[in-house]
Structure 1
Amino acid sequence: MAKHKTPMLDQLESGPWPSFVSDIKQEADKRAKNPAGLDFQIPQDCPDDLLGVLELAYKDKETHWKHGGIVGVFGYGGGVIGRYCDQPEKFPGVAHFHTVRVNQPAGKYYKTDYLRGVMDIWDLRGSGLTNMHGSTGDIVLLGTTTPQLEEIFHELTHTLNTDLGGSGSNLRTPADCLGKSRCEFACYDTQALCHTLTNDYQDELHRPAFPYKFKFKFDGCPNGCVAAIARSDFSVIGTWKDDIRIDQDRVKAYVAGEFKPNAGAHAGRDWGKFDIVAEVVDRCPTKCMSYAGGKLSIDNSNCTRCMHCLNVMPAALKVGLETGATILCGAKAPILDGAQMGSMLVPFIPVEEPYDEIKEVIENIWDWWMEEGKNRERLGETMKRMGFQKLLEVTNIKAVPQHVKEPRSNPYIFFKEDEVPGGWKHDEKGYRERHMR
C-alpha cells in the first residue's frame, strides 16, 4: 500500500493518455512486493517517496529538489547529474536521487540482452525508473545514491561494454537518425559518423572544458528526423549536389493511381484522386517544378531540398547521386537569449572516412569558442555576439551568398589593414587615409 496520499498526482492518471504517475506507482508496487527477492542497494521505498515529494511540490508550488553539487564517477566530469531532496527526513527514499546518463548506440539499435542487462543493473542499484531517451539521446537512469555510482559505472563498462553520456559544459552524447540502415533518403552514413566522432572525442565528452554544452546531431537528409537544425550546436544534414532523379514512368503511375502518394502513410483516409499539380507542383516553395504533357520537370538550380516532392512520390523521385552534407552551427533551446535555429556554415562537404574535413571544422570552432566564449554561453550566442563573419574567419571558410541572412543596412564599409592595398597612412592632423600605390 502506498505510503503517501497523492490526490493531485492521481488526477494525471484520469486522462486518455498513459501517465508517468502510473509507471512510478507500478514500480513502487513491484518493490513493495519484491517477488524476485532482490537485495535492493538503495531504499526500497524510493519510487513511493518520489511520488510523495512530487505531490508536495504540486501542493507548495515549488520544487523540493536542491542543487546537485559535485557528484560523479572517478576520472569523469560528466555523465551524472546530482540530485538531492530538501526534505530528507520526510522522504528518505529520495534523499539522494542522482541521474545517470548512458551513451546510446548509433541509431539507437539495441539487442534485447543488452537492454535486459541495463535493467538488471538499475533494478538492483537504482530506482528502476528510466527515460528512454533523454532529449540529447542518452538512456536516462533516474534515481540512485552516491555510493552506487561507481558500482553502476563498473558494471556498465565491464559487463555491458558501454559508457556514460555527457553532462555539464562538455560535448554531449552525439545523436543520429537511422540513416542508410533503414532510409532510402539518407545521403551519408549517419551511424558511422556518429560512432566515429563519439569515440574520437572521448576527452571532450567526459571532461568538461567548454564554456557550456556542445551538441552534435546527424540527420541523413533534409527531412531532419533528429531535428539537428533546431537542437544542436553542430548539425550535419545530408544533401546532394546534382539533380533529383526522376522516373517518368512511375510519375505517370502516381497520376494514374497505381502508387499511393506519401508511401501510403494516409491509407486509412480517402483523400480522393491524386492531383500532382495541386499536391506536388504548386506546393514547391521555390516554384521550380512543372508538369505538362505527362512529364514532370524540375529546375534543380532553384531547388532548396525541402523534400516535399520526394516524400509525396518516393517511388518516382530519388535524391541525387553526388551526396554529402551541409554543416550548420549555433542552434539551441531558450536559455540566455531565446531559441534559434542553426546557421549554415558549410554548404556542401563530402562525408567520407576518416572524416578529416569535418573534424577540421569542428576543432577550429572549438579553439575559437573556448577562447572567446563567455561562461554558460552556447556557440550560437557567441556567434551572435561576435558576428558570423568571425566564424567564417576562424574556420577558414570563404563567404558565399548562402551565408547572407539579409541585405546590409549599414552604409559604412569597414576594412582591415591587410585588406587595403598599400595599407593606411596618417596625415599631419592624425586622420587615417587610404594610401594607394
Structure 2
Amino acid sequence: GRYSDLPERFPSIAHFHSVRLNQPASKFYNTDFLKSLCDLWNYRGSGMLNLHGSTGDIILLGTTTEQLEPIFFEVTHVMDQDIGGSGSNLRTPSCCIGKARCEWALYDTQEMCYEMTNYYQDELHRPAFPYKFKFKFDGCPNGCVASIARSDMSFIGTWRDDIRIDQAAVQAYINGEYAPNAGAHAGKDWGKFDIKKEVLDLCPTKCMWMEGGELKIDNAECT
C-alpha cells in the first residue's frame, strides 16, 4: 500500500517519491555518469536505484518532497540528463543497441529513438493521455527490446526489397573457408559443415534451398 497517505502512522515514509530519468539511447553509460548518479541519490534520496524499469527509465526510488526541485535542477543542468515519462502520458522511448555494436541492425535505432524523444518532449513531461503509451525501437526482427510485447507502437527493422545474397561468401562458408558459427564451437571436430542440416533445415518457414550450387530464398516467406 501507499503508506505515504498515512504520515501520522508512518512518519519515516511520509514522503516517498520515485523519480524517472530518461536513459541514454541503448543504455550506454560511462563510470563518471554512474558515480555522479549514485552520489546524487545517496545525498538527495534513499540510495536505491533500479536500472532499468520495463520502459527503460533509470528509476530513483524514494525521496522527500523538498528534494524534488534540487534533484531536477542537478540532473538537467549538471548531468545533462532529462526526466523520463511517467503516469498517463508518453513513456520514455527505448531502443536496442542498434548499429552501435550489432551487425544485424537494419536501421539506426539510436537516432530514431533520439529524434522521437525530442519531438515528443511535451507528451513526455505533461500527462494528457487517458493511459500510458510506449514506443520501442528494434533494429531487426530478433527484437532485443521486445517492442511487440512491451510497447504500444513497435518500430522493427526489416529488409527493403529482395534479400541480397553474397553467393561467393555462401560457397566459402560451405567449403570451410569461414568457420561455422564464427568459430564458437571450434574446440571439437564436428565434421564437415552441412548447410542443409545446419542452416536450411533449421529455417522455421523452410524458405531457403540450394539450386544449381546457389542459395535461394523465398523472400515472402522469410521471417
TM-score by length of 2: 0.88
Q: Secondary structure at the match of 1:218?
A: strand
Deviation track 1:193-246 (CA, whole Å, cap 9, x = no partner) reads: 111111111111111111100000001111111111111101111112222222
Q: How far did residue 165 of structure 1 move?
A: 0.6
Return the alpha-carbon distance in structure 2 between the equivalents of residues 143 and 271 of structure 1. Answer: 56
Deviation track 1:270-291 (CA, whole Å, cap 9, x = no partner) reads: 5834321122212223322112
| 1:340-351 to 2 correspondences below 5 Å | none
| 1:114-193 to 2 correspondences below 5 Å | 114-193=33-112
- The aligned amino acid for 2:93 is P
Q: What is the aligned length? A: 222
Identical columns (%):
63
Q: How far did residue 95 of structure 1 move?
A: 4.2
- Decide which of 209, 218, 221 is 1:299's aligned counterpart: 218
Distance 1:192 1:286, change over 3 A: same
- The aligned amino acid for 1:88 is F
Deviation track 1:162-185 (CA, whole Å, cap 9, x = no partner) reads: 111111000000001121222222
Residue 227, structure 1, aligned to residue 146, structure 2:
yes
- Decide which of 185, 198, 203 is 1:284's aligned counterpart: 203
Return the alpha-carbon distance in structure 1 between the equivalents of residues 7 and 112 of structure 2. Answer: 40
More deviation in 237-246 or 214-223?
A: 237-246
Return the alpha-carbon distance in structure 2 between the equivalents of residues 289 and 238 of structure 1. Answer: 21
Q: Secondary structure at the match of 1:296?
A: strand
Return the alpha-carbon distance in structure 1 between the equivalents of residues 123 and 44 of structure 2. Answer: 28
- The aligned amino acid for 1:203 is D
Return the alpha-carbon distance in structure 1 between the equivalents of residues 9 and 199 of structure 2. Answer: 59
Larger CA Rg, structure 1 vs 2: 1
- Decide which of 102, 117, 127 is 2:21's aligned counterpart: 102
- Decide which of 107, 116, 124 is 1:205's aligned counterpart: 124
- The aligned amino acid for 2:174 is V
Preserved contact between residue 255 and residue 275 of structure 1 (Cα < 8 Å): yes
Q: Secondary structure at the match of 2:157?
A: strand
Higher-RCO chain (CA-CA 8 Å, sequence separation at least 6): 2
Match of 1:321 in 2: none
- The aligned amino acid for 2:217 is I
Match of 1:267 in 2: 185
Q: Which runs of 5+ in 2 are unaligned?
A: none
- The aligned amino acid for 2:10 is P
- The aligned amino acid for 2:132 is K
- The aligned amino acid for 2:173 is Y
Residue 245, structure 1, aligned to residue 164, structure 2:
yes
- The aligned amino acid for 1:303 is E
Deviation track 1:347-367 (CA, whole Å, cap 9, x = no partner) reads: xxxxxxxxxxxxxxxxxxxxx
Deviation track 1:259-312 (CA, whole Å, cap 9, x = no partner) reads: 333434x43875834321122212223322112454211122x233x3xxxxxx
Preserved contact between residue 290 and residue 298 of structure 1 (Cα < 8 Å): yes
- The aligned amino acid for 1:212 is Y
Q: Secondary structure at the match of 1:107?
A: helix
- The aligned amino acid for 1:149 is L
More deviation in 206-215 or 182-191?
A: 182-191
Return the alpha-carbon distance in structure 2 between the equivalents of residues 115 and 85 of structure 1. Answer: 33
Return the alpha-carbon distance in structure 1 between the equivalents of residues 140 and 48 of structure 2. Answer: 34
Match of 1:383 in 2: none
- The aligned amino acid for 1:197 is M
Preserved contact between residue 66 and residue 86 of structure 1 (Cα < 8 Å): no
Q: Secondary structure at the match of 2:173?
A: helix
TM-score by length of 1: 0.47
